[in-house]
Chain A
Amino acid sequence: MTALFSRRALLSGGAALATATLLPLPALAVTEAQARGMVDALVAEVNAVIASGKSEQAMYNDFATIFDRYADVPTIAMYSLGNAGRAATPAQRQQFVGVFRTYIARKYGSRFREFVGGQIAVENARTINNYVEVQTTAYLRGEDPFRVDFHVSDQSGRNAFFNIIIEGVNMLLSERTEMAALLDRHGGNVDALIASLR
């Protein structure tokens, strides 16, 4: 990872900074360099867990913790809940975010195990509206390299990712589809949805 995040990356990061000082841009809170640095730190933590040689179950727990720490879970949760979230009471929202936190960290954290024996190279970062898209390439054993993008924002008060896009497939949309289907199954009852995620 660190080997790949090398001179070329630093140079292009420098170029981005130079451009930022020259062009009049809207007030941006998270910079491309910060977003890139955040994804680098995330990847380094995942790699450290993989290198630790722990049991697979211990790794899952660590991955879930890492996911939770770097993701803006309340925003992902409320987006996934969609329209039903607008009608929910503050108490219901709080409970939903709570159960969703465990659900999402387990679900996506467990996927980090696929990086065992592989690596993620941070390729590029670009600003889209008021967030930064960090483009990475995942090199996994026995598979063709594929693209993974992290969308990073600081609108939660800290730098955190709110979406992961793997070869075009978008976590926010997948989870909104999943929550809508679960809600349907429970007749649109948010409390029943919360209970089912526990």
Chain B
Amino acid sequence: MQPYLERRAARDPWVGELFGLQPFDAPPREAVRKGYSVNQHVLAEIPFLADIVGNDTSPQPSRPALADGEEIVRLVDLKRRFGETPALEGVSLTVRKGEILGIIGRSGAGKSTLIRCLNGLERPDSGQVHIEGREIGRLGESELQPLRRRIGMIFQHFNLLSAKTVEDNVALPLKIAGQKKAARRARAAELLELVGLSAKAKAYPSSLSGGQKQRVGIARALAAGPALLLSDEATSALDPETTRSILALLKDINRRFGLTILLITHEMEVIRSIADRVAVIDAGRIVEEGPVWSVFADPQSEITQSLLGGIRPQLPAEIAEKLSSVPGKEAILRVDVAGDAARRPLLSELAVAVPGRFRLIHGGVDHVQGEPVGSLFLGVAAKDGQVAKTLDFLTARNARAKVLGYV
């Protein structure tokens, strides 16, 4: 490693993360506080370059699978209608301790109704909601109240009380839980330190920026020491930079305290940044579910593909326009590759194994949960059986390749 990089890393923590001087998955606290986050696109470039020189430096998955974690939430066949409009049509879902589960869907897909069923703000018409092993569907409002203290919630529009100072907002759940004033103050100070807003303790929410308001929202949601954090589009009202810093904070909290987080969003970017598992909801049903990287690598449903559209490489429009199904000079291939297959020097091996010319049109390798997930568009000369050989080679290397058409 160059001493220059080390000097840079000392000044800007993200440089260190980028070059492996510091662990990627546990960003240093200053980085989180200053709102730094790793530029995923830059990171994606590095293994791709490494791929060409045949030297694998891509980060390995550093977290154990969470599949055997204890169940915190179990939803069984949840149904809910609003008059004639169905919001949930039989949703079953499990959230395990310590994981971040992201639920994504378009607006009106039933996300908000679903998340509100978890703390009893919304009552399902049928089905069961188990929280830490307890069925809450039949509990009355007064029995739900102590249970809700085990579940923190953050909101799209922050929902901070304008008449209370930042400190009093954070302390409110503790006041509700009946804690003494001195204890509330101490805990609020601790949480404001955690979210980097100690200086604003006596300020009113109206003097804060959107990102700061959401930090207060997070501190408030954590005040009573919840077992589960619900996030209702928590970053949808924020600009991209602030979104990244809020997501980094949530991830940091999840890693450090093992807090289980269930978030709903309509942005795949959010899912990619922090979720371990994703469930795609459409028209009141879960249409797809799995580890984020595998859903990103191989989306099954149309809705998932469309939601991923914005962040996965797409064939450039000027080429897509010229595409024809009649064989021509050059075949355009889409190659999807993920996991171990994407760690190999795929392109250099292809160049050696299949003689002839090919060009890289567009694409890249992204890293989702430390797993490389790549989509490449190749132009392959359509002669001497090169297209068929290329397809065979890629299939043998566990890459999914198909001919989109010819130009």
A in complex with B: no
A residues near B (Cβ < 8 Å) are: none
